């Protein structure tokens, strides 16, 4: 192991395996929430179970929220796999610059470089 400087650039086959593994892992977690279909998570029916199911509904909502968040990551991973096929993997989807290897190592499905990610991200407001 040498820990000097830049992380090694993984081969595309390694990247694909990493993305596949991560995608499978997330899908398993989503399945455990019982909501593999994002349409179902947005159509939760609380009325049906009022009375006996309030706690259940809250748990279900939390699970659905987490499942939806996980599902967004799955979608990002699937887009990254598409970019692998198209040969545009590792380039910023916004400005087209090569995304630094360190960022790709931390977030293998990143589709924006750091400047574009922080500029365009509504949720990252305030941190520079
Ligand atoms: Zn960019």
Q: How far away, in angstroms, is 91 Cα from ligand 1 center?
A: 8
Global confidence as pTM: 0.67
Distance CA 23, CA 36 (A): 13
Does 126 have pLDDT greater than 50? Answer: no
Q: How far away, in angstroms, is 120 Cα from ligand 1 center?
A: 10
- What are 17-29's pLDDT values in tens digits? 999 999 999 999 9
Indicate the domain borders of the chain.
12-119
Task: List beta partners, residue 91.
Answer: 98
Q: Just give the CATH number of 12-119.
A: 1.20.120.910
Q: How far away, in angstroms, is 92 Cα from ligand 1 center?
A: 5
- What are 77-113's pLDDT values in tens digits? 999 999 999 999 999 999 999 999 899 989 999 999 9
Q: How far away, in angstroms, is 74 Cα from ligand 1 center?
A: 21
């Amino acid at each position: 192991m040498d820990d000097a400087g830049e992380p090694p650039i993984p081969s595309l086959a390694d990247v694909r395996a990493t993305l596949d593994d991560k995608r499978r892992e997330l899908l398993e977690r989503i399945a455990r929430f019982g909501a593999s279909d994002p349409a179902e998570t947005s159509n939760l029916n609380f009325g049906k179970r009022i009375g006996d199911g309030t706690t259940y509904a809250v748990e279900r909502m939390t699970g659905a929220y987490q499942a939806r968040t996980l599902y967004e990551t799955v979608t990002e991973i699937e887009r990254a796999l598409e970019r692998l096929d198209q040969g545009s993997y590792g380039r910023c989807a916004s400005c087209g610059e090569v995304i630094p290897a360190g960022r790709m190592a931390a977030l293998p499905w990143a589709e924006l470089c750091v400047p574009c990610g922080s500029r365009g991200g509504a949720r990252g407001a305030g941190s520079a």
